[in-house]
Amino acid sequence: MSLRDHLFIVFAEEHYNPLGVIRSLGEEGISPVAIIIKGKAPWASKSKYLSEVHYVNSREEGLELLLRRFSNPTFPPFVFSCDDTTACFFDKHFDELKDNFYFFNAGSVGRISEYLNKQTIGMLAKKHGLMFLDSVVVERGTIPDDITYPIITKAIDSTVSGWKDDMFICESKDDLEAAFLKISSQVVMLQRYITKENEYCLEGYSCNHGSDVFLSIESTYDYKLPISYSPLMTVRSFSNKGNVYPSLKSMLQDIGFEGIFEIEFLESDTGELYFGEINFRNSTWSYASTCAGMNLPLLWARSMIQGHLDENSYKKVESPGFTAMVEPSDFKERVLKGGCSLFRWIGDLRAAKCKYYLGRSDLKPVLYMFLSRLKRR
């Protein structure tokens, strides 16, 4: 059985996350099908590597199309999810998909959704020997008497609309009361806040329901933003910093997950690593792994067919690593805010081995993105 016998399907919204999957496959000669949920202006769906594009109004409509047109029990298509909402949606429809598709799953209905809860996954991390910052889950507006400040507020579930807007750093009870007036989530996690030295992000995949785990690269950010990622990062080989691999492997095995994932830690100024979360789907940063010679969409697909990890898939990133850039966001953060000159930024752009927007020879997505932004003005 060959990979070429199987169809590859990207099921996603318009974003540079699925664009990375499309390019990872396309650069290896595989032309995937895209099922795109309407809502944003088309741009990832304009990639030259796609063989077919189907626009749908909802995930439910996309699922109906997927089941009706692409089911194949003999050569199951590989289906890639690129956001938490879609990962939960496939999780909910596990029984309908399991016999006809390869997709990211944890072996039963609802298993992935359970561990997208930030408190649940944090407690599992502690069970497996990782550090997790003290936290409490409350109804919006509830302020515990024994909470120690500063804290950061987070939506308990990243599938809730606008969850990123619910993050606030609170130094006092008054700050928390003011934050609750702006938070939209009904259930909120209040977590001890530390000034991060950096973040430590790991990309990889698992098969055999977590029994086999491959970690390809680690990324750290080149400058700090208080409650967001930095759009300029340095990518290195996975080094197993803090000896986290055994704990992560046992966590994924406990969950039973198979698919591409990202795992995030906060690093304190004293070098301690605090577990943050696992994204049970393709991460935007996975394209950096492709640029490092470890194409996660392809490696995961191959391992699912073989039934085990590819022993020869690891490629060492030459020291000191390479940079990866989210070009529009980095331009906004550094050039427009006066952090560096345009001349220097262009030099950094040219030096970045991984560019998340600009394709090597796939320019239409970026052109469509800029055209859509011009039309909105």
In a domain, 121, yes or no: no
The pLDDT value given to residue 162 = 67
Quick: pLDDT tens for 208-235: 999 999 999 999 999 988 778 899 999 9
Evaluate if residue 272 carries a pLDDT over 80: yes
Q: How many domains does the chain have?
A: 3
| Same domain (yes/no): 141, 99 | no
Quick: pLDDT tens for 86-131: 999 999 999 999 999 999 999 999 999 999 999 999 999 999 999 9
310 alpha-carbon distance from chain centroid:
22
In a domain, 119, yes or no: no
| Same domain (yes/no): 236, 279 | yes
The pLDDT value given to residue 229 = 86
| Same domain (yes/no): 186, 208 | no
In a domain, 252, yes or no: yes
| Same domain (yes/no): 183, 266 | no
| Same domain (yes/no): 268, 216 | yes
| Same domain (yes/no): 344, 223 | yes
The pLDDT value given to residue 370 = 82
| Same domain (yes/no): 202, 174 | no
Query: What would the mean pLDDT of 40-46 be, rounded to a whole number?
Result: 90
In a domain, 309, yes or no: yes
Quick: pLDDT tens for 232-267: 999 999 999 999 999 999 999 999 999 999 999 999
| Same domain (yes/no): 142, 231 | no
| Same domain (yes/no): 240, 290 | yes
Quick: pLDDT tens for 142-188: 999 889 999 999 998 877 666 788 999 999 999 999 999 999 999 99
- Of 192, 212, 241, at which residue does a domain stop? 192
The pLDDT value given to residue 274 = 97
Of 58, 56, 35, 31, the C-alpha closest to 45 is: 35
Evaluate if residue 74 carries a pLDDT over 90: yes
Confidence of residue 300 (pLDDT cuts 50, 70, 90): very high
- Of 142, 161, 192, at which residue does a domain stop? 192
Of 279, 275, 353, 370, the C-alpha closest to 17 is: 279
Expressed as residue numbers, the domain containing 305 is: 198-371
| Same domain (yes/no): 187, 206 | no
For position 187, which CATH number holds?
A: 3.30.1490.20
Query: What would the mean pLDDT of 39-58 be, rounded to a whole number?
Result: 94
Q: Which residues contact 369 (CB under 8 A, 6 or more apart)?
A: 41, 43, 357
In a domain, 123, yes or no: no
The pLDDT value given to residue 16 = 93
- Of 146, 162, 192, at which residue does a domain stop? 192
Confidence of residue 48 (pLDDT cuts 50, 70, 90): very high
Q: Is-contact 26 19, C-beta < 8 A?
A: no
Query: What would the mean pLDDT of 265-274 be, rounded to a whole number?
Result: 94
| Same domain (yes/no): 138, 53 | no
In a domain, 167, yes or no: yes
The pLDDT value given to residue 333 = 95
Query: What would the mean pLDDT of 31-52 be, rounded to a whole number?
Result: 94
Evaluate if residue 4 carries a pLDDT over 70: yes
Evaluate if residue 1 carries a pLDDT over 70: no
Q: Output DSSP code: residue 167.
A: -
Bridge partners, residue 324, by sequence:
233, 354
Q: Output DSSP code: residue 237.
A: E
Q: Is-contact 18 81, C-beta < 8 A?
A: no
Evaluate if residue 377 carries a pLDDT over 70: no
Q: Coil, strand, or helix at residue 266?
A: strand
String of DSSP letters for 43-87: SGGG-TT-SEEEEESSHHHHHHHHHHHH--SSSPPEEEE-SHHHH
In a domain, 129, yes or no: no
Quick: pLDDT tens for 330-375: 999 999 999 999 999 999 999 999 999 998 889 999 998 888 777 6
| Same domain (yes/no): 204, 341 | yes
